[in-house]
Chains A and B, each alone.
Chain A
Amino acid sequence: MQNIRNFCIVAHIDHGKSTIADGLLEFTHTISQREAKEQLLDSLDLERERGITIKSHAIQMKYSAQDGNTYTLNLIDTPGHVDFSYEVSRSLAACEGAILVVDAAQGVEAQTISNLYMAIDAGLDILPVVNKIDLPSAMVDVVKKQIIDLIGCKDEDIILASAKTRAGIEQILEAVVQKIPPPVGNENAPLQALVFDSVFDSYRGAVAYIRVVNGTIKEKDEITFFASGKKYLAEEVGTLRMARIKTGELKAGNVGYLIAGVKELHDTKVGDTVTHTRGGALNPLPGYKDIKPMVFSGLYPTDSDDYENLRDALDKYRLNDSALSFVPETSAALGFGFRCGFLGMLHMEIVQERLEREFDQSIVTTLPNVEYWVSKKDGSKIIVDNPAEMPLQGDIEKVEEPYVKAQIVTPSEYVGNLMQLAIEKRGVYKNTTYIDPTRADIQFEFPLSEIIFDFYDKLKSISRGYASFDYEYIGYRESDLVKLDIMLNGEKVDALSIIVHEKKAYTWGQKVCTKLKDLIPRQMFEIAIQAAIGTKVISRTNIKALRKNVLAKCYGGDITRKRKLLEKQKEGKKRMKQVGNVEIPQEAFLAVLQIED
């Protein structure tokens, strides 16, 4: 156990976490240079495109250190986005140390800070690394100073590296061996193994990635998962290199995988503890949380005949992503679909994109919303994750919404713009810390609903891309929220209802009405578009009746062409959604998602 080191890398997005990891794997001959070209730890296409890690993975290296010993190094990768912060926390709990990577040209950013704090909170030893020192725009001294201010280390503790030229890689490995403590634990104690990740294998079922904290797990052991209470037989145990290496057992301090015939990813929950069914530990490891979705949206098939297909796709998708939740729901406008819960906006986008790309689904989504707590005048309390379920305005005593604490790091010249944006987004200013004279770390509290929408894009645009942002959930607070309905000829379009702050309702309503006027084609009657809170109409416009749509000529030579055109038009009409008599093109629902609030 003395020769094992478990560590992770924390960094802001694009600061070089993956390339540093590649450098380590290559130096230890875990992978060849050619293999390193592909950033290995990010294995989904989408992750590679976005340069972020969604799922964490682990890989083991053997390193012959300068002290003459060979060490087993387990590098545990962490997801790089706030939507997955619980998963990050479990990955961190599997480590004793963290390499903090900061880009020499960018300096400390919001995620550098938030991930660092999480690592420190998890009790990890920090190895600071300034990466990309070969860049012409590198400001090594400035960034070193920022890091010293941030973690209070000494100048000589900071390793200067370039994942590209492989400078500093050996130094990092030496520091891992010397400065990160070996794991502590008793291999003879009752088994406690932390599940820090799990993946789905179509042949073997759920594969749990585990850190054995105490005890030893062997193949053929009878095991129990604490959270689900379910019992299994350990079929296969091993370590993780480029592939799974079957070892037959894993002892305290080590990291590896466990296959136990678990059919669903749900039953290998991240944060859960594995123990022996007989003579096992009395208590699980601390820190298990059942993760809850934060953002909700309706997903509907473009063609209502595809409802069953979408259900199959969601079922299959969930095998690989236990964080996604879904229940059937019906919309008068969109037909049969599902209300889905996501960890955050990125998670939602990923699910949608993967459903479209990998499962070939064509879907329409409704505006995302958070979960509200509604207290009614009759004393009852309900949870609302769909605007359609909001009680009537008159029956509501109060509405509470989730708030987050946000950390924004920005060059100081954009502080003014940021304050402006924060006001628009109902932010509550908390405090400012200067990382150095030119960079401010500002904290706000925001309603979650305000930042799930277009906050990130706006932040980037007001700061020319320099500001960065991270947040964590802090609890529910009362707000003046109302349900805003959109009506076409007096009929509610349920899929367009939203819950919105009273002060923003008017502008929002106006924007939606204008957008719909542009996108709904003229029909044979006039269409009144209204935005209303309860019975009070706050915005209205109308689409004039279609007065002429007829081909002037249709003689012998025109008939085939005209019939084909008609077939196409009928097909188009079939794809329209209908509310009352009004036909709404799918684009109208999508366009509402693009409206800036």
Chain B
Amino acid sequence: MKETALYIHIPFCDHKCIYCDFYSIITYENTSSYLQSLKKEISFYAEKYNDDRKIISIYFGGGTPSFMEPEYISEIIEHVKQNFVLAENPEITLETNPGTVDKQKLENFNRAGINRISIGIQSFNEDELKFLTRIHDAQTAIKTVCDATKAGFANINIDLIFNLPGQTKQKWLNNLDEALRLPITHLSAYSLILEHGTILNKMVLDGKVKMQSDDYDAELYEITIDHLTQKGFEQYEVSNFALQGYECMHNNAYWRYKDYLSFGTSAHSFVNGKRWWNFSSVKFYNDAVSKNGNGIAGEEILTKEEMLDEYVMLALRSSGLDMNELEKLFGRSWLIKNQNYISRLIEQKFLTLTSTLLKFTSKGYAVCDEILAKLK
């Protein structure tokens, strides 16, 4: 059976944070029409791809999915169950923001079928939270994690951001330590990215905010990797760390080049070598779904070379490139072309080779894009 992951986008947010470039909207007017579209789209693809698939993961991303009522989420999960075959223990994740949930609401999510919570904490420092224009304070963040545990969640991720303007190494270490004191199984630590079209980008362009240097970013990144690995969190992707057995199945589906179907605004799907993406606006999406059953705004059919490039990029960015598997899928030519460069990278300790698996060292992860660009 073909393992497939499902992504469901919930675009609604309480407000827009300065660094965010995701598609999100600050109105709740369309929530019910959106729900109808989602269900219609799910049915559409369940019929189209009824070719012996089982769903290993469902991921609610946003936006702020936790802002929705548990019934809303429950209705979607039930609809998925009715239309697709689910694996035995599918991972079902809900992105959650502190300040949008209490223990009761979390219990209800749990009852609705959610078994993994991903909490967008970003920082435990009040000044940093204010700078990021988050709606919560540090105390609420901590409480949300504890409430999730009490509500029955054993698999909890938190997101943190480093290299914030003015962030000292000590401040960042404090954030990491605070996180490690909590009952979490997974941590995503992102270096602050300046995305086009964000408020932060404008602030930087206007000279109101100064980003820190790449070298400093590198130092913080190194500290992060050292600190987390020492505490038993294994790095399995550029920005992702997990206790053994708690790697995110959904993320791994992306990175191991499995098929994924995605529903909702701006969602990207990838099935049988074809990728497509939906309209970003709720209105366009709703209109398209009611007309066509799907919300497709664009698509690409990947060439063999593009697939190879993506496969290598995703594997190296995450838990490593298995050379046997690569050869099975794409033949030997890539290995032959890059043999010399790869040996040099191993020699210089950017890569390790264990049996047939090529994996970045922490030094290698840090310059991943530079290395990828040099591969032929």
Contacts and interface: CB of A to CB of B under 8 A. Distances in A.
Interface in B141-163: none
A566 B373 contact: yes
Interface stretch (A369-377, A448-456, A557-565): A557-565
Contact of A557 (B267, B309, B317): B267
Contacts of A560: 268, 275, 277, 300
A552 B310 contact: no
Report which residue of A552, A566, A572 has the largest number of chain B beta carbons within 10 angstroms of its beta carbon: A552
A555 B371 contact: no
B262 A556 contact: yes
Interface stretch (A10-18, A190-198, A299-307, A543-551): A543-551
A551 B192 CA distance: 10
B373 A569 contact: yes
Interface string A66-89: 000000000000000000000000
B251 interface: yes
A554 interface: yes
A573 interface: yes
A570 interface: yes
B366 A548 contact: yes
A556 B373 contact: no
B242 interface: no
Nearest to B318: A554
Nearest to A568: B373
A557 B251 CA distance: 12
A569 B366 CA distance: 17
A552 B221 CA distance: 11
A552 B193 contact: yes
The number of chain B residues touching the other chain, given as a range, is: 35 or more
A554 B314 contact: yes
A200 B294 CA distance: 65
Contacts of A551: 193, 238, 369
**How would you classify the secondary structure of chain B's contact residues: helix, strand, loop or mixed?**
helix
B350 A550 contact: no
Contacts of A557: 266-268, 277
Contacts of B321: none
Contact of B367 (A546, A552, A573): A546
Given A553-B193, A556-B262, A546 B370 contact: yes
A332 interface: no
Interface in B167-217: 190-191, 193, 214-215, 217
B374 to A, nearest CB: 6
A392 interface: no
A569 B219 CA distance: 24
B86 interface: no
Contacts of B238: 550-552, 554
A308 interface: no
B63 to A, nearest CB: 13
B67 interface: no
B366 A547 contact: yes
Nearest to A583: B374
B254 A555 contact: yes
Given A524-B367, A559-B275, A554 B317 contact: yes
Given A566-B372, A569-B373, A556 B310 contact: no
Interface residues of A, number: 26
B268 A570 contact: no
Report which residue of A525, A549, A550 has the largest number of chain B beta carbons within 10 angstroms of its beta carbon: A550
A480 interface: no
Report which residue of A525, A547, A551, A569 has the largest number of chain B beta carbons within 10 angstroms of its beta carbon: A547
A549 B370 contact: yes
Contacts of B221: 548
A408 B37 CA distance: 82
Nearest to B306: A563
Contacts of B217: 548
B109 interface: no
A525 B218 CA distance: 14
Interface string A423-461: 000000000000000000000000000000000000000
Interface in B243-287: 251, 254-255, 260, 262, 266-270, 275, 277
B239 A556 contact: no
B215 A547 contact: yes
B34 interface: no
B313 to A, nearest CB: 6
Given A556-B262, A556-B270, A566-B313, 8 more contacts: A547-B218, A552-B190, A554-B313, A559-B314, A560-B268, A567-B309, A570-B373, A573-B373
Closest 7 A-B residue pairs measured CB to CB? A547-B218, A548-B218, A569-B373, A550-B368, A557-B268, A552-B190, A549-B370
22 contacts: A547-B219, A549-B366, A550-B369, A551-B193, A551-B369, A552-B190, A553-B239, A554-B255, A555-B254, A556-B254, A556-B260, A556-B268, A556-B269, A556-B270, A557-B267, A557-B268, A559-B275, A560-B268, A562-B313, A566-B369, A570-B373, A572-B373
Interface of A: 523-525, 544, 546-557, 559-560, 562-563, 566-567, 569-570, 572-573
